[in-house]
Amino acid sequence: MSSHRYAVFGHPVAHSLSPRIHAAFAQQAGIALEYTAIDAAPHDFVAALDRFADDGGAGANVTLPLKEAAFAICAQTTDRARRAGAVNTLTRNDGQWHGDNTDGAGLVRDLTGRHGLDLRARRALLLGAGGAARGVAPALLDAGISELIIVNRTAERADALADALGEPDRAHSRYWRDLGDLGDFSLIVNATSASRQDQGAFTLPFHLATPRTLAVDLNYGEAAIPFLAWARAAGCHDAVDGLGMLVEQAAEAFEHWHGVRPDTDPVYAALRDRDKVLVTAD
């Protein structure tokens, strides 16, 4: 029985690029690594995680729709996971799961490092309040945005996220129906699953954007097409999908587990070149 098994849990998860990314990182570092994708519906997640641990599971990534459930089962969590109320990285320590959230760090590293974008003083709109939104919201505030408006179709979830962030002067929740009355934003982040469920047009008021706006979709590939098409039609200055964030958040987890910081640029370039059409977001 191996003591060095790793996996990504999600539902669905067959599409996940995480096994390919971690295999590339392991090859760089000269580490023998077993990393697989495990499909676990929300009602079976805890049992599936227990089976994984019993079989030598040392760490796991967690993707949609399990990030908040992962937070709930952790014996210990990092500060950034607690601020998010969601976990995307699990580590087995002394028979217990310890949780972290590397999504926000991955997003900021991709935007500021790879794309050379400055997030400071931007007025930001966050679409969605689920596990993906929770992962990035604290990091956006830490990166120096001036204001964060959270809009979700279920208003109570937006309210809960705004309250959890603990910055009432900068983080606010609004109703989806208010989108036409919120003014414009220099950063718009799509953290919803709407594009995955409906591959049609992504409908938002164009006046939310200006020629200075950075539009970011946490999805990548086909799932990001509708929102990025809206961003281009709205005249946004920059439109970025979530592939770089995916690679960077994986690097954070890999370094935590193995003590080695991988070089993300060749992995990102290979995925961008090899997979012109990817499937969805982790």
What are residue 240's DSSP bridge partners?
Answer: 216
Is 249 known to sit in a ligand binding site?
yes
- Return the structure tokens found at 37: 């994708």
68 is in an annotated binding site: no
Is 153 annotated to bind a ligand? Reply is: yes
Q: How far is CA 68 from CA 88, 204, 257, in A?
A: 9, 27, 21
26 labelled ligand-binding: no
What is the CB neighbour count within 10 angstroms for residue 26?
19
| Catalytic (active-site) positions | 67
Cα Rg of the chain (Å, integer)? 18
For 83, the enclosing helix (H) or strand (E) is helix 79-84
Determine if residue 104 is labeled as part of a ligand binding site.
no
Q: Annotated binding residue at 155?
A: yes
Is 242 annotated to bind a ligand? Reply is: yes
- Asked whether residue 194 is marked as a ligand-binding residue, the answer is no
Element (H, E) at 216: strand 214-217
**What is the maximal distance between C-alpha atoms in the chain?**
58
* CA–CA distance, 116 with 119 (Å, rounded to integer): 10
Residue 130 counted as an annotated binding residue: yes
Annotated binding site: 16-18, 63, 79, 88, 103, 128-132, 152-157, 218, 220, 242, 249
Residues annotated within the binding site for NADP(+) are 79, 128-132, 152-157, 218, 242
Q: Which residues fall in the annotated binding site for shikimate?
A: 16-18, 63, 88, 103, 220, 249
